[in-house]
With several copies, the nearest count.
Chain A
C-alpha cells in the first residue's frame, strides 16, 4: 500500500507548486459546495426522496475541483455514475442536479437519466456513464473531433481504479496514444471497486500509473486529496494535450468517505484505513493551507455559509418540482421527437 504521507509536488510532473490565490479560493468554494450538496443528497436518499441509487464522491472532491479549475470552458468532461461532483464542478446548477436525483421535471435531464447519467452539454459535461469503461473510448472521440476540427478543446475523463481492469480501458488508452489525442485520463484510485479492494484483483500496485508505459505514456501519480496537486497535474497534462502533445494518464490517490452507493455504510473496509483517510480529508486540509497562506477565516466561513444556503435552496427547489410529464416516456428517442419505430 502506498504511504499516506503528504506528497510534495514533484517538479514539472505536476506543475507549478502553488496555484494563484483566486484559483485556490475557487477550488475551496467548489469543494465545499460539492461536499454540502452530496451530504444533502445522502439525507434525501435516506428519506426516500432520492430514488434508485446514488454514488457519492464524498472525500474525492479535490480531484473534481482541481481538474475543473484547470479546464477551459470549452473543454469536455466525461465522468462515471460517481459524477455529481464533476457535474457541479463544470457549473451545472445544483437545483437541476438535485432534481434529477429526485426524478423531477426540473431535473437536468427531466428525470430521464437519473443520478448515474448526469449530463449538461451546455457546461461541456458530456455525460456520466454507468457501464464501467465505455466512456474512456467516448472521451477519445471528443478529443479526436477536437483535433480534426482544430478546436483546441481537451477531453478530460474521470474513472475509478476498478475500471483499469476492463477491456475498454486498454483499447481507449492505446488508441489515444497512437492518434496522439488531446485527452487526459484521470484514474481516481479510491482503493475499492464496489466492495472488493482493488489490490486483490489487480496485477500491479498502481492500477493506472503502473500501466502508463504499456501505452507509451509517462506514469503520473498524484495525491488526489490535495487540490493543489490535482490542479497542478491537470494544468500540465491539459496544456500538453492542447498543444498537440497527446494524451496523459494520471492516477490520483484518494478515498471515498462513504460506501459505494445508496445506503452502503462501507463496513467492509478496515477501520484504520478509513480513519487514516478521514484524517486526510481534502477539505479541512485545504482550509488549513489557505489559512496558512494568510486567507482570512471569515472569508472561508462566508464561503461555507453560502454553500449551505445554496444547497438548501437547491433542495427546496428540487423538492418543489413536480414529477416529469408522462409524455416524456416516448419522447427524445430520436431527433424527430417520437419513439415511433414504424412509419
Chain B
C-alpha cells in the first residue's frame, strides 16, 4: 500500500471504525447509526467518537438498554428506505436480541420472496483477551455463520475495518460486522480517500508451500507470529485471513490446500461448531485427496472464557499452540 501518490496514515483499528462509518454517512444521507452510548459518549470502546458532532442527533442516536428495540428499529428502518448501522456493544449481547438477528433480519428477504430488502449492518465488539470474563469475551461469529441469510465479516486490520465496513453498508443485505475487541488498540496503515472492499474475499497474508493456516480477526496476527516461528525451523506456511465467513472464499482456501497439502484452522471460538469445523468439512469433502496430513483445528477449548489473565491466556489459542498445530498437521 501507499506508493504512487496515495497518502497513507497509521491509524488504530479503533479509529478506523469511526472513519469507516463517517465515510459512508458522508456519502449517503440514508445511512444512520444507533446504539447504546454510541453518540455523546463515542462508544464504550471509543470507536465512534466524533460522529454525533459531525452528523447530529437524528443520524446518530443513543438508545436505552434495549437490544431488541435497537435491532427492530434498524430492521424496520432498513425496510423503509434507510441504511442503518446498529451497534450491539458486546457480541455476547446478541443473546438478548438473537430473535431479531436470526429469526427476523436473517429470514425476511427469503420468506417474503424478495419483497423486503434489509440493507443494514450490525457492528459488535467480539472476542476475548481483555480479562472481561465469560459474559463479555465470547467469539460468536460462528453463531452468525450458522444462520442462513446473514453475511458475516470480521476484519483483522484497520484498513480492512474501513473497506469492509463500507462494503457492508453498501451491501443490499444484512451484514454482521465483528470487530475483535483485542484489536482495537492495534495500528496499521490506512490510505487516504475512499476505501471500499469486496465481501467474501480472503487475503493471503503470507505465502509458504508447506502448510496452510486459515485464521480470522485477532488470530491473524497470531498466526503470522507462528509463521515466523515456524520459518525459523524451515517450515514455510501460507497464512490466509478469511476476512469474511459468509460469503466464504472457499476458492482461496482450496487453492492453497492443493499447493501445501496441509491445513490448520485457528479460531477464537470454543471448539464445537466453530467456523473452523465448517472450513475443515469443506476441505474434507472437496479436497480430501489433496491432503497429505490431518486437518488440525486450533481453538479455544470448549469452555467459557475465564477472567483471570493467566487462565484466559491459557485458554485462547497461543502462538505456541498454533505452531504445535501446524506440526501435527505435517505428521
Are chains A and B touching directly in their complex (CB below 8 angstroms)?
A: yes
* Chain A residues close to B by CB (< 8 Å): 51-53, 76, 103-104, 107-117, 119-122, 126-127, 129-146, 148-149, 153, 155, 162-163, 165-168, 171-172, 174-175, 178-179, 193-196, 200-202, 268, 323-324, 326, 328-335, 339-343
Task: Count chain B CB atoms within 10 A of each CB in A134, A166, A168, A196 and give the residue with the most.
Answer: A134
Interface contact tally, CB-CB below 8 A: 298
CB pair A343–B111 under 8 Å, yes or no, is: no
CB pair A145–B66 under 8 Å, yes or no, is: no
For residue A94, give the distance in angstroms from its CB to the closest CB of chain B: 18
In the bound complex, CA of A163 to CA of B65 (Å): 7
Q: Does B9 contact A (CB under 8 A)?
A: no
Q: Which residues of A contact B95 (CB under 8 A)?
A: 131
- The stretch of B99-107, B156-164, B319-327 in contact with A is B99-107
Q: Which residues of A contact B72 (CB under 8 A)?
A: 134-141, 168, 171-172
Q: Does B246 contact A (CB under 8 A)?
A: yes
Q: Which 5 A-B pairs have the closest CB atoms?
A: A141-B76, A137-B72, A114-B307, A111-B308, A52-B131
CB pair A133–B64 under 8 Å, yes or no, is: no
Known: A127-B116, A133-B96, A342-B248. A145 touches B77 (CB 8 A): yes
CB pair A134–B308 under 8 Å, yes or no, is: no
List residues of B (93-123) whose CB comes within 8 Å of A's CBs. 93, 95-96, 99-100, 103-104, 108-117
Q: Which residues of A contact B130 (CB under 8 A)?
A: 52
Q: What are 12 pairs between A and B in contact, CB < 8 Å?
A: A52-B131, A117-B112, A119-B115, A127-B116, A140-B73, A148-B58, A174-B69, A194-B41, A195-B40, A201-B63, A268-B40, A329-B306
For residue B203, give the distance in angstroms from its CB to the closest CB of chain A: 13
CB pair A194–B77 under 8 Å, yes or no, is: no
CB pair A137–B315 under 8 Å, yes or no, is: no
For residue B60, give the distance in angstroms from its CB to the closest CB of chain A: 12
CB pair A341–B271 under 8 Å, yes or no, is: yes
For residue A244, give the distance in angstroms from its CB to the closest CB of chain B: 14
CB pair B113–A334 under 8 Å, yes or no, is: no
List residues of B (75-104) whose CB comes within 8 Å of A's CBs. 75-82, 84, 92-93, 95-96, 99-100, 103-104
Task: Count chain A CB atoms within 10 A of each CB in B58, B62, B306 and give the residue with the most.
Answer: B306
CB < 8 Å neighbour of A175 from B73, B77, B303: B73
Q: Which residues of B contact A268 (CB under 8 A)?
A: 40-41
* Chain B residues close to A by CB (< 8 Å): 32, 36-37, 40-41, 44, 58-59, 61-69, 71-82, 84, 92-93, 95-96, 99-100, 103-104, 108-117, 130-136, 148-149, 151, 172-173, 200-201, 246-251, 271-272, 301-304, 306-311, 314-315
CB pair A51–B309 under 8 Å, yes or no, is: yes
In the bound complex, CA of A341 to CA of B302 (Å): 7
CB pair B308–A112 under 8 Å, yes or no, is: yes
CB pair B302–A142 under 8 Å, yes or no, is: no
CB pair A114–B92 under 8 Å, yes or no, is: no
Known: A52-B307, A175-B64, A334-B173. A339 touches B148 (CB 8 A): yes
CB pair B69–A146 under 8 Å, yes or no, is: no
CB pair B113–A175 under 8 Å, yes or no, is: no
CB pair B310–A324 under 8 Å, yes or no, is: yes
Q: Which residues of A contact B114 (CB under 8 A)?
A: 331-332
CB pair B311–A131 under 8 Å, yes or no, is: no
Known: A134-B72, A144-B73, A149-B82. A109 touches B112 (CB 8 A): yes
CB < 8 Å neighbour of B308 from A148, A175, A323: A323
Known: A53-B132, A111-B307. A166 touches B115 (CB 8 A): no
In the bound complex, CA of A109 to CA of B135 (Å): 15
CB pair A121–B112 under 8 Å, yes or no, is: yes
| Contacts beyond the supplied A103-B131, A195-B41: 13 A-B pairs with Cβ under 8 Å | A52-B309, A111-B308, A113-B306, A113-B307, A115-B133, A116-B136, A135-B72, A142-B76, A149-B81, A153-B80, A328-B306, A329-B303, A333-B110
In the bound complex, CA of A220 to CA of B141 (Å): 43
CB < 8 Å neighbour of B93 from A131, A172, A333, A342: A131
Known: A139-B76, A172-B72. A326 touches B310 (CB 8 A): yes
Q: Which residues of B contact A196 (CB under 8 A)?
A: 36-37, 40-41, 62
Q: Which residues of B contact A339 (CB under 8 A)?
A: 148, 301-303
